[in-house]
C-alpha cells in the first residue's frame, strides 16, 4: 500500500505576512480510489477546484508562501473537521455528523448532486485513519507552522484559503470573501479584501453564499493575531467551456489573486507599523 504524498510547500521569499492555502486542487487518483468510484474519474473530478494551484503562480512568483494539497478532495477533504464523518463513505461510524456530512460532503465525500453516490463501497476505519494521518493532519500542521513563523516575524499573519465555485444562475458576485461572519478575521481586513477585489473589476460579496469552512475556523484566530479569509472564485472566469482547462480569463484571475494577496499583506504590515509607532 503506497503512502499518500505530503503537502507541497512553497516557502515565503518576500517580506509580507500572508500565506496561501490551496486544499482542493489535487487531481492525481490512485488505482484503488478509481476502482472504487461508481462514476469513474469524471465523477471525482467534480469535487475539485480546477487549476486553482496553477492560478496561484503569479502570487508564488512574487514571494508569497503557499501550502498546496496534492491529494484529491475525493480522497479526504482538508476543509472539513476530522469529526465530520458520513457512514455512506466510511463504514462503522454511526450517523452522519454535521450538516455537510449529512449532505454527502463530509471528511470523505460520499455523493454529489449531479453524480449521486460516489463509491461502490465505503472505506473502513483503518483506511480513514491512514488518510487522516498521512494527508489531513500534515496539511494543517504545515499551515500552522507557516502561520506561526509569519506571526513570529510580524506580530500578525493572514491566511488566504483559495477555492473556486461553480457558476450560479443570477449570482450577485464573481468572487466571495468569507470570514465566518466576522469570527475568523478582523472586520477591516475583510472590508479591505472586498475593496481590492472590486478595484480589479470583479463583483464581490462577503460571506454570501460561502462564509468559510474548517480551514478558516481552525486557523483564523484574530484575537491571537492570525486572520483567515476564504476566497471563492467563479470558475467561468478562468476556465474554458470544458471546465478542465485554462480559459481566456485565466491570467486576469491569476493577477487578481496576486494583487489581493499583496494588497492584504501590505495593509496588515502598514497597520502594524503605525500601531508600533504610536
Helices (H), the chain: 31-36, 40-45, 52-55, 57-61, 99-102, 125-131, 137-154, 187-199, 214-219, 250-277
Query: Does residue 233 surpass a pLDDT of 70?
Result: yes
Q: CB-based contacts of 38: which residues, under 8 Å, 6+ apart?
A: 115, 116, 117, 118, 119, 120
pLDDT above 90 covers a percentage of the chain that reads 91
Query: Does residue 261 surpass a pLDDT of 80?
Result: yes
Query: Does residue 173 surpass a pLDDT of 90?
Result: yes
* Residue 274 banded pLDDT, cuts 50, 70, 90: confident
CA geometry: angle 238, 49, 106, nearest 5 deg: 155
Residue whose entry in the numeric block shows the C-alpha cell 460571506: 207
pLDDT at 203: 97
The correct answer on CATH 3.40.630.40 for the domain covering 8-76+128-277 is: yes
Q: CB-based contacts of 20: which residues, under 8 Å, 6+ apart?
A: 10, 56, 59, 60, 64, 65, 66, 67, 160, 161, 162, 257, 261
Q: Which of 3-12, 59-68, 90-99, 132-141 has the lowest mean pLDDT?
A: 90-99
pLDDT at 252: 98
Average pLDDT, the chain: 96
Q: How many CB atoms lie within 10 A of CB 30?
A: 13
* Whether the predicted model's global pTM rises above the 0.75 cut: yes
Find the mean pLDDT for residues 222-232: 98
pLDDT above 70 covers a percentage of the chain that reads 99
Find the mean pLDDT for residues 28-42: 96
Q: What are phi and psi of 202, to 5 degrees?
A: -105, 150
Q: How does 100-125 read in b/e, with b if 16+ C-beta sit within 10 Å?
A: bbeebbbbbbbbbeebeebbeebbee
d(CA 160, CA 86): 28
- Burial classification of residue 207, based on how many CB atoms lie within 10 Å of its CB (0-12 exposed, 13-18 middle, 19 or more buried): middle
Contact 38, 172 (CB under 8 A): no
pLDDT at 85: 96
Amino acid at each position: 500500500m503506497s503512502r499518500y504524498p505530503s503537502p507541497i510547500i512553497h516557502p515565503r521569499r518576500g517580506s509580507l505576512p500572508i500565506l496561501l492555502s490551496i486544499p482542493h486542487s489535487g487531481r492525481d487518483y490512485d488505482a484503488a480510489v478509481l476502482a472504487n468510484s461508481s462514476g469513474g474519474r469524471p465523477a471525482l473530478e467534480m469535487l475539485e477546484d480546477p487549476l486553482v494551484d496553477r492560478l496561484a503562480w503569479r502570487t508564488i512568483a512574487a514571494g508569497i508562501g503557499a501550502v498546496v494539497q496534492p491529494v484529491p478532495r475525493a480522497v479526504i477533504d482538508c476543509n472539513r473537521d476530522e469529526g465530520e464523518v458520513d457512514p455512506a463513505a466510511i463504514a462503522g461510524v454511526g450517523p452522519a455528523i454535521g450538516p455537510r456530512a449529512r449532505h454527502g460532503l463530509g471528511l470523505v465525500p460520499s455523493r454529489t448532486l449531479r453524480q449521486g453516490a460516489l463509491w461502490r463501497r465505503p472505506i473502513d476505519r483503518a483506511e480513514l485513519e491512514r488518510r487522516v494521518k498521512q494527508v489531513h493532519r500534515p496539511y494543517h500542521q504545515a499551515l500552522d507552522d507557516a502561520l506561526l513563523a509569519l506571526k513570529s516575524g510580524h506580530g500578525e499573519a493572514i491566511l488566504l484559503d483559495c477555492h473556486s465555485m461553480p457558476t450560479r444562475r443570477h449570482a450577485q458576485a464573481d468572487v466571495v470573501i468569507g470570514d465566518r461572519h466576522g469570527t475568523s478575521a478582523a472586520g477591516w481586513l475583510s472590508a479591505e479584501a472586498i475593496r481590492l477585489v472590486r478595484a480589479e473589476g470583479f463583483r464581490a460579496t462577503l460571506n454570501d453564499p460561502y462564509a468559510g469552512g474548517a480551514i478558516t475556523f481552525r486557523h483564523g484566530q484574530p484575537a491571537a493575531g492570525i486572520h483567515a479569509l476564504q476566497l471563492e472564485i467563479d470558475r467561468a472566469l478562468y476556465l474554458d467551456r470544458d471546465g478542465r482547462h485554462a480559459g481566456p480569463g485565466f491570467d486576469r484571475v491569476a493577477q487578481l489573486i496576486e494583487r489581493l494577496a499583496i494588497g492584504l499583506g501590505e495593509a496588515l504590515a502598514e497597520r502594524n507599523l503605525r500601531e508600533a509607532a504610536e
